Amino acid sequence: MSGGRRGGSLPPQVERYARLLARRTQAMRSTAMRDLMSITERPEVISLAGGLPDTASFPPRVFAEIFESIASEACARALQYGPTEGLAETKRCIREVMSAEGMRVDPQDVIVTTGGQQVIDLVARALVDPGDVVIAEGPTYPGAIPAFCSYEAEIVQISVDDEGLRVDELAEQLEQLRALGKRVKLLYTVPTFQNPAGVTLATGRRRRILELAREYGFLILEDNPYGLLRYEGEPTTPLFALDGGEQVIYLGTFSKILAPGIRLGWVVAPTPVREKINIGKQAADLCTSTLSQLMVHAYFERQRWRSYVELVSTIYRRRRDTLLNALAEHLPPEATWTVPRGGLFVWVTLPDYIDTTDLLARALRENVAFVPGEQAFVDGRGKSSMRLNFSGCDEQQIREGVRRIGEVVEEQIAL
Ligand code: PMP
C-alpha cells in the first residue's frame, strides 16, 4: 500500500511521489492472490490457490477454427473499436447463457464488460461514495475487496453457514447500521457455489434478502460466475430471476464456462444505474475487446457451448471428489471443510491456533500454495481457514498438494 504518509519517514524519492498520490490510494489494497500468482506460476509449485479454470480442456482445433472464421468473415470489424455497451451478437449469446439458468433478459439491458471483475469496479464507481457501506459475505471473494476499497467503501461482512449468508445476522446489522446513521448502498453476494466458501444461498434466504433490500433501500450485486458449474443437486433460482431485476444488478462472465483469457463478462442493471455504469465504462476502457466478443459469438455459432460446460463440469466433479477424499486422508480430525455442490472451491477450517498466513510460508517451501482465509475478510477473521481450488490441477497434483498441506499442518500442530 502506498499513500501520502506524513512525518518525513519515507525516503525522499518515495516522498516526492507519495505527496502526489490521491488520498483514496491509502484505502487501496492489493490482492495477495495476484501477488501469489507470480510464485505459483513456477512449474514446481502445486497451486491450489488461484481459481484457474482448466483451459487445457479447450480444443485447440476449435480455437483455430474460430480465429480462421473471424479472419475470413469479420477481420476489419474484429480489429475495430465497438460500442461501449457491447456487440448485439455477443449480447444474444449472453441472453442464451442467462436463459440456461432461468433468467429472461432483454439484450438492450446488457453491457458487455472486460470480465466480471470490471463489473464490480464499475458498480462500485457508480454507487459508492466514501464511507458508504457495502455489505458482503464473510468470507467474500477476495478480489472484490480491493474494488470496494478503491472507492473508500466501508465493508461490513456477514457470516456464512452451509446455507449461505446468515439473513438473521444481516437483518440485525441493517438495524444497527441504520441506528448509526450509516448508508447501506449495496449488498455484494456470490450466492451460488460461493467463492471462497463453496456454499449456496438457500432459496428462502434469497427471498428474505430481497425483502430486506426493498425495506432498507439498497441494491444487490449478484455475482454468478459458477451457477452453471453444478456437480449435483437441483439448480437454485438466481436472485435476479426471483426479483425481476428491480433490486438486483446481475454480473455474469464467460471466464468459467469458456475461458478467462478472453476477459469477457457482463452486467444487467436497472436503467438509471446501467446508464451510469456505461458512462463509467467509457472512461475506463471505451469498449470491451471486439475480438473477444466476436470469438464468443463465433464459438456459439459453431459449437454447443453447453457441451463444453458439461465437459468441464465432469472434470471438476472428479477433481472435487479427489480433493475431498485427500482432505479426509491427510488433515487432522479437528479440521472441517465445506462440501460444494458446484463451483471451484472448498473452504477448510483448521484448529484456531493455526494461522494459515504463517502456514502458507511453510507450504510454499514445500511447493504447494493455497489462499489464506484472512484474504477473504477485511476484519482479521478467517485466520485459521484456507481456500482450496480444485479446477486448476489434475487429480494426481491435487492428491500430492493436499498431502504436502497435511504435512505442514501436522508440523504446525507439533510445534
Ligand atoms: N467474481 C468472482 C466471484 C470470481 O470468482 C471471479 C474470478 N475468480 C470474478 C468475479 C472475476 O472474474 P472475471 O473478471 O474473470 O470474469
Tens-level pLDDT at each residue, the chain (415 residues): 334 444 457 788 888 888 889 988 888 877 766 667 777 778 899 999 989 999 999 999 999 999 999 999 999 999 999 999 999 999 999 999 999 999 999 999 999 999 999 999 999 999 999 999 999 999 999 999 999 999 999 999 999 999 999 999 999 999 999 999 999 999 999 999 999 999 999 999 999 999 999 999 999 999 999 999 999 999 999 999 999 889 999 999 999 999 999 999 999 999 999 999 999 999 999 999 999 999 999 999 987 899 999 999 999 999 999 999 999 999 999 999 999 999 999 999 999 999 999 999 999 999 999 999 999 999 999 999 999 999 999 999 999 999 999 999 999 888 7
Residue 141 C-alpha to ligand 1 middle, in angstroms?
Answer: 8
User: For cell 478503491, what's the residue?
Assistant: 150
Residue 1: the pLDDT is 36
Q: What is the rounded (10 degree) CA torsion for 200, 201, 203, 207?
A: -160
Among 314, 294, 221, 213, smallest CA distance to 254 is for 294
Residue 209 C-alpha to ligand 1 middle, in angstroms?
Answer: 22
Separation CA 246–CA 18 (nearest Å): 42
Residue 34: the pLDDT is 67
Residue 74 C-alpha to ligand 1 middle, in angstroms?
Answer: 29
Query: Is the separation of the CB atoms in 226 and 254 below 8 Å?
Result: no
pTM equals 0.95
Residue 142 C-alpha to ligand 1 middle, in angstroms?
Answer: 10
Residue 178 C-alpha to ligand 1 middle, in angstroms?
Answer: 31
Of all atoms in ligand 1, which is nearest to the CA of residue 190?
A: 3
Q: Which residues line ligand 1 (CB under 6 A)?
A: 51, 115-117, 141, 143, 190, 195, 223, 225, 253, 255, 260, 265
Mutate which of 253, 267, 316, 371 to test ligand 1's pocket (most atoms within 8 Å of Cβ)?
Answer: 253
Separation CA 375–CA 398 (nearest Å): 22
Residue 17 C-alpha to ligand 1 middle, in angstroms?
Answer: 32
Residue 225 C-alpha to ligand 1 middle, in angstroms?
Answer: 7
Residue 54: the pLDDT is 96
Of all atoms in ligand 1, which is nearest to the CA of residue 260?
A: 15
Mutate which of 33, 111, 195, 228 to test ligand 1's pocket (most atoms within 8 Å of Cβ)?
Answer: 195
Of all atoms in ligand 1, which is nearest to the CA of residue 254?
A: 16
C-alpha cell at 25: 490510494
The strand pairing partners of 112, in sequence order, are 266
Residue 4: the pLDDT is 43
- Measuring from atom 7 of ligand 1, which residue has the nearest CA? 51
Of all atoms in ligand 1, which is nearest to the CA of residue 263?
A: 15
Query: Is residue 5 classed exposed, middle or buried when 0-12, 13-18 and 19+ CB atoms within 10 A define those classes?
Result: middle
Separation CA 164–CA 224 (nearest Å): 14
Among 243, 231, 250, 156, smallest CA distance to 206 is for 243
C-alpha cell at 364: 510454499
Residue 9 C-alpha to ligand 1 middle, in angstroms?
Answer: 38
